[in-house]
């Protein structure tokens, strides 16, 4: 009797449960579905995080700060062609002496890097014979310019002006190779065209410095 009951128990143990699904079995199928659902949820969360990060970066580099590559020699020796500079935009108001990045589509589509010489209400006088720039009758001490100023190739241009409201007068530090507010094609710049304030040179590392 004991041997017969033992054989019956073995036979029952080897049979599938009535509730089990056919084929691979209910437990295996359920585990597979749970794993697929878990993988899908993880992928969805990763995509959400990635989209969120991209949105933050786009907003950051559109409205807060951005990196600009310097093109041309007009800001030598302060800035050299190829320098990467960090530009701050959020809440910025141009001030005299600041290095700014701006756009002036009447001249070119690419952004322009210049130095603010005067802001609204100030009067600018340029004396090429003396190689000096006056703001409100006071000569500027410009230790940042590359060399003594001469008459540029386009002539004296705008050399006496009172800056209108909401505008700035800009010049390059390399006065003899700079198209700036003296040049009629650029002229006085509306502050709404200012992208931001150049804060520092990020690259190349040997040229790293604040502006």
Beta bridge partner(s), residue 160: 125
pLDDT of 51 over the 60 cut: yes
Q: Which of 114, 146, 178, 181 is catalytic?
A: 114
Given its phi and psi angles, is residue 143 left (phi above 0), alpha (psi -120 to 50 degrees) or beta? alpha
Q: State in words which class domain 70-210 has.
A: mainly beta
pLDDT of 136 over the 90 cut: yes
Tell me the pLDDT of the chain averaged across its residues: 85
* Domains of the chain by residue range: 70-210
| φ, ψ at 43 (rounded to 5°) | -65, -45
pTM metric for this prediction: 0.74
Please tell me the distance from the alpha carbon of residue 207 to that of residue 201, in angstroms, as a whole number.
7
User: Do residues 115 and 143 lie in contact, with contact meaning Cβ atoms separated by under 8 Å?
Assistant: no
114 is catalytic: yes
pLDDT of 20 over the 50 cut: no
Please tell me the distance from the alpha carbon of residue 50 to that of residue 97, in angstroms, as a whole number.
40
User: Do residues 111 and 103 lie in contact, with contact meaning Cβ atoms separated by under 8 Å?
Assistant: yes
pLDDT at 15 (0 to 100)? 47
pLDDT tens digits, one per residue of 152-185: 888 999 999 999 999 999 999 999 999 999 999 9
Q: Which of 74, 111, 178, 181 is catalytic?
A: 74
| φ, ψ at 132 (rounded to 5°) | -130, 150
pLDDT tens digits, one per residue of 194-210: 999 999 999 999 999 99
pLDDT of 13 over the 50 cut: no
């Amino acid at each position: 009797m004991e041997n017969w009951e033992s054989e019956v128990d073995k036979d029952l143990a080897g049979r599938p449960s009535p509730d089990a699904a056919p084929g691979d079995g209910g437990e295996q199928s359920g585990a597979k579905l749970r794993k697929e659902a878990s993988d899908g949820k993880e992928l969805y969360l990763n995509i959400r995080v990635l989209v969120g990060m991209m949105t933050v970066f786009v907003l950051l580099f559109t409205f807060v700060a951005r990196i600009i590559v310097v093109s041309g020699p007009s800001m030598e020796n302060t800035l050299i062609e190829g320098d990467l500079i960090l530009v701050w935009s959020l809440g910025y108001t141009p001030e005299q002496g600041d290095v700014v990045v701006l756009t002036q589509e009447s001249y070119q589509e690419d952004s322009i890097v210049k130095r603010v010489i005067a802001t609204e209400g100030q009067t600018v006088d340029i004396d090429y014979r003396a190689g000096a720039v006056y703001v409100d009758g006071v000569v500027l001490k410009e230790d940042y310019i590359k060399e003594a100023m001469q008459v540029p190739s386009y002539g004296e241009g705008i050399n006496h002006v009172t800056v209108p409201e909401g505008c700035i007068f800009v010049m390059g530090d390399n006065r003899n190779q700079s198209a700036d507010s003296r040049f009629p094609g650029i002229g006085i710049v509306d502050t709404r065209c200012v992208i931001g304030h150049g804060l520092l040179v990020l690259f190349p590392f040997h040229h790293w410095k604040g502006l």
